[in-house]
């Protein structure tokens, strides 16, 4: 059977019918809000390349997290800007480090909001790389102990889940062993499993002050050209004990999301990264596209591709604007 019996436009006749036939729907619980907390800030700091996003003080972090939770957002992902950096990322696992303090504070004030912490060294190292250096190389195995200490310190502070984003080999297994040994058998690990080396992280590095002082991250993050390798990264992380896996960035890796969804029966998250947000913001500012419509389209595409949850700087706006078409 086909035209004229079949008319696809019947589905689209008006707003009401379009709503009836929607296959993919967004809800506030789909989104996780990334937040930056800066222990040196006296007031919330704007980030030029990420309009609407701030480096928070502890007080403004709480306000922002609570506002997100009231809109139905169930989780935040925390990044810290420490008061000092060194080659070994000591502040990354300090008991009174910026993240450890922020987690204790948020869990006390908003206990039902899930606090997820990014586990990485790049915000804490003076050289800006995601691990310990040996000469000009990021040394894999010596970094595993550092990451484990960071993860355990976050769990001790009360984090609900830890999310390693460094892309060292073997870090999921190392973190699992360290967490279990510390008595944190029940803390899940969200692995940034398929994390591509991406120019779309640029604005984040302004926000987190984590641009490497030399070189790039291409010896640990994945090349955009490879999808089988991405699936293998996910598979290995699951074997090592990851509870949930992430694909990052989102819009440039929709194929990876779909393939991972079909292949692995595990929670699959996507990170809609800073540059994906910034380019829409910039174009909207110039009047070149409609921000709300572009945001909605991008989030729908990520969910349609197969993401169970989306980490996005638009979490609040999206949760707020869901009724609108
Ligand atoms: C830390 C980390 C980065 C992002 C999340 N965790 C930056 C990087 O790998 O350089 C990027 C997030 C974004 O761009 O929004 N390793």
Q: Is residue 293 over pLDDT 60?
A: yes
Coil, strand or helix at 154 = helix
Confidence (pLDDT) at 48: 95
Q: Is residue 300 over pLDDT 70?
A: yes
- State the Cα–Cα distance between residues 240 and 230, nearest whole angstrom: 15
Q: Is the CB of 123 under 6 A from ligand 1?
A: no
Q: Is the CB of 205 under 6 A from ligand 1?
A: yes
Where do we find the tokens 């598979």?
235
Give the pLDDT band of residue 183 (cuts 50, 70, 90). very high
Domain regions of the chain by residue span: 23-320
List the residue whose alpha carbon is closest to atom 5 of ligand 1. Answer: 165
Percent of the chain with pLDDT over 70: 99
Quickly count: other Cβ atoms within 10 Å of residue 26's Cβ: 18
> Any idea which residues carry the catalytic annotation?
195, 248
Tens of pLDDT, residue by residue over 104-144, are: 999 999 999 999 999 999 999 999 999 999 999 999 999 99
- Strands 268-272, 244-248: parallel, antiparallel or unpaired by DSSP? parallel
Helices 274-285, 291-305: crossing angle, 10 deg rounding: 150
List the residue whose alpha carbon is closest to atom 10 of ligand 1. Answer: 201
- Distance (angstroms) between ligand 1 centre and the Cα of 205 equals 7
Q: At 134, which helix (H) or strand (E)?
A: strand 133-134
* Third-level CATH fold of 23-320: TIM Barrel (3.20.20)
Quickly count: other Cβ atoms within 10 Å of residue 72's Cβ: 16
Q: Is the CB of 120 under 6 A from ligand 1?
A: yes
- The minimum-distance atom of ligand 1 relative to the CA of 201 is 14
**Strand-pair partners of 310:** 31, 270
3-class secondary structure per residue, 258-321: HHHHHHCCCCEEEEECHHHHHHHHHHHHCCCCCHHHHHHHHHHHHHHHCCCEEEECCHHHHHHC
- Distance (angstroms) between ligand 1 centre and the Cα of 177 equals 25
List the residue whose alpha carbon is closest to atom 7 of ligand 1. Answer: 201
Asked whether the bond before 4 is cis by omega within 30 degrees of 0, the reply is: yes
Q: Is residue 7 over pLDDT 70?
A: yes
Q: Is the CB of 201 under 6 A from ligand 1?
A: yes
Q: Is residue 209 over pLDDT 90?
A: no
Q: Is the CB of 122 under 6 A from ligand 1?
A: yes
Closest CA to 314 of 296, 287, 290, 288: 296
- State the Cα–Cα distance between residues 14 and 131, nearest whole angstrom: 54
Confidence (pLDDT) at 8: 98
Confidence (pLDDT) at 296: 97
């Amino acid at each position: 059977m086909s035209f004229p019996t079949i008319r696809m436009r019947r589905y689209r006749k008006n707003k009401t019918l379009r709503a009836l036939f929607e296959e993919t729907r967004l809800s506030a619980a789909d989104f996780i809000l990334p937040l930056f907390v800066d222990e040196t800030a006296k007031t919330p700091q704007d980030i030029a390349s990420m309009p609407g996003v701030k480096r928070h003080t502890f007080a403004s972090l709480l306000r922002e997290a609570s506002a997100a939770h009231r809109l139905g957002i169930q989780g935040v992902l925390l990044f810290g800007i420490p008061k000092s950096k060194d080659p070994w990322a000591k502040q990354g696992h300090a008991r009174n480090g910026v993240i450890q303090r922020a987690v204790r504070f948020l869990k006390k004030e908003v206990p039902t909001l899930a606090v997820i912490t990014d586990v990485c060294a790049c915000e804490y190292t003076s050289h800006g790389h995601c691990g310990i250096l040996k000469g000009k190389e990021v040394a894999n195995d010596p970094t595993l102990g550092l990451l484990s200490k960071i993860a355990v310190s976050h769990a001790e502070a009360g984090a609900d889940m830890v999310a390693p984003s460094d892309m060292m080999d073997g870090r999921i297994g190392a973190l699992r062993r360290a967490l279990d040994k510390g008595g944190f058998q029940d803390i899940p690990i969200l692995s940034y499993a398929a994390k591509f080396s991406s120019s779309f992280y640029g604005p984040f590095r302004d926000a987190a002050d984590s641009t490497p002082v030399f070189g790039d991250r291409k010896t640990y993050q994945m090349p955009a050209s490879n999808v089988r390798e991405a699936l293998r990264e996910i598979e290995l992380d699951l074997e090592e004990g990851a509870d949930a896996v992430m694909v990052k960035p989102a819009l440039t890796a929709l194929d990876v999301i779909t393939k991972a969804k079909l292949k692995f029966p595990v929670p699959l998250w996507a990170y809609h990264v800073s540059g994906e947000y910034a380019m829409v913001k910039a174009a909207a500012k110039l009047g070149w596209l409609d921000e709300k419509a572009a945001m909605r389209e991008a989030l729908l595409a990520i969910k349609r591709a197969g993401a169970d949850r989306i980490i996005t700087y638009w979490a609040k706006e999206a949760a707020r604007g869901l009724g609108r078409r």
